[in-house]
Structure 1
Amino acid sequence: MFFASDNWAGAHPAINERLLKESTRFAAAYGTSELDRAIEQRFNEIFEREVAVFFVATGTAANSLALASLAKPGGVTFAHSEAHVIEDECGAPDFFSGMRMSPVPGALGKMDPKQLRSRIARYPQDAVHHGRATAITMTQATEVGSIYSLTEIEEIAGIAKEHGLPLHMDGARFANALVQLGATPAEMTWKRGVDVLSFGGTKNGCWCAEAIVFFDPEMARELPFIRKRSAQLFSKSRFIAAQFEAYLQDNLWLDLARHANAMADRLRAGLEASNSARLAWPTASNEVFAVIPKSTAQAAEAGGAKFYDWLEPHDMPEPVAEHDLLIRLVTSFATEPQDVDAFLDVIAAG
């Protein structure tokens, strides 16, 4: 019963097989192999336009280097107050970009457009002492399991364009959001106004595969140097490309995300029907947040369940009682129905 994180899951067999095949041959290094080039072209097909793609190792690297490519001296980046780039990346986006993060509040992990406008207004372009508005970053799916609708993405993008700011999307769980919306990759990104995307594969069945995608290749002119300087240019980058080849083939990536989301739906339904637990707030991706008695949490852990305690967000709908605990449960491509049912049985017995 592993619900601590989708990072705990292994790699999908198809991806392992492709890595094994790649390990037996020679190929040009530093992103110049035929496979690297072929996967770059595959990204063009997926996003229905010419894009610039850069492979990196981690989601933190993807976010940090993407924002570094947009940086200006004295720059300020706007993100939800509880976004991963603010809460869980040890200041890496600030470090690599040289910019500060300005937190924007909003319900269910999504930036409130009115609040975003207000925050941007604090940093006019000539504000030498305060710094200047430079970029906006949004998380899709969000840190609390919600998903921006296409209309909501477009509204945030519209604010970005009004102020001449590029819009970055942290897509660590990009596939989970995509299948939930029933949209195409193009519809959820550049057609809505997104300029740069951190495209995540690791949480959804890859071993170690992330990419930075620029929807206007001209915006990516500095990224090769930024990536090299930050030690993210792999000599054998074809092993990232090989993972993406298997991941994207026959829409495997979408099937894996659908499965993870379906397991989360099963978990949500069981918790909603429970007499000993409640959903903390509505979610739509593969993350589920629940409030359970501390004694039940201890029993679940003793029974082999793995999950994380979670800090209450600022807009927690109903405060957690002293004898209760807020927990996060994350499903993955490797989660099985019996895992979910076993956890629900433990909760019911607790």
Structure 2
Amino acid sequence: MKKVKIIGITTSILLAIGIISISSNSSLVNADENPSITNTTTEKSNLTVQVMQDGKLVSVNPDGLYFQVAPNSSFNPTDFIGTDGSQYKINSENKSKIKVDLNTVDTSISGSVGTVKLTATSNIGTTQTVIFTVFVKPSGLFTLKLPQSYVTGLGDTDTVYQGQQYYITDNVKFSNGEFYTGISKQSQNATNNSVKWIATKYLANSATTSTPVKTKTVTKKLMHTSILYDKNGNPTDEKYTAYRDVTINQEIVDINGSSFVKLADKSAYIKSSNIYGNGRVLKHNAYIYATSTRRADRTVLKKGQTITTYGGPFKFKNGKRYYRIQGASATNKRYVKIANFK
């Protein structure tokens, strides 16, 4: 009996060891063999800018920072100079390619605020985006528009109140993870020792002028009489006649499934086909007409050619419909029958 009991105990111990071994080994599963387990790699932020902090140059992430630059200064969004003479050069620690996605900084407008957006793409395809704000130093007294009745700065006495006016100096320092600007009641030329230090973000957010994204415009010939539409695609009572020059935003926008361009000088839209036209393919040879009875010239357009047509068709006196085509002008009428196109 004793021998059997000893064997039973030994077996129990071995089984327990086996269970423990199986249990511990079961956690060692290759993620590639188990689709429920994923490998996630988070790339460390690699865009940095050097700033002076406590007398030493340190590298920090520029994302969310508020910089201050001088009016009419040269501005490169990845390498610029602050009002205190410090150089702010955006670097990539892993040699990523830096692309400027947005730059609305306009140093010709003192007291304005601009935004910079940068994207860094590494050689393995990972990306990092940073957005920072640039405050163009104003001249004269500057009125504070704070998020509350008062804010405190760096020093014990550096408290400022809503609506107060200060001169903004060139003095800037970096502390507590953000920039501070020296402000003075006496002069824009006040020294470090005679200013109050307020976070630069409060000055930028007090600015009355925000530099908008500059919309690219272009002047084009209107090739078809055009009704003007509102922003919702509804026709208005106004229209522009053909062959006049119009200045429009370059971007073509979609409104309710139709393509429009916005007039640069008013809140109105024109159908893009009246300016840029549509390419249509001829299904057989075609003549170009000036009127329903007279050809524009002796040109014969060949089957398979792509011809640019503008706007909707015109119905001539003979009852047939024609498209106005490329090369037309107020003195050179050019039309092709709709029936000639695919």
Q: If the length of structure 2 is used for normalisation, what is the TM-score?
A: 0.22
Task: Pick the structure with greater CA Rg.
Answer: 2
Q: If the length of structure 1 is used for normalisation, what is the TM-score?
A: 0.22
Instruction: Kindly indicate which of the two structures has a greater share of residues assigned to helix.
Output: 1
Q: Higher relative contact order by CA 8 Å / sep ≥ 6: 1 or 2?
A: 1
Instruction: Kindly indicate which of the two structures has a greater share of residues assigned to strand.
Output: 2
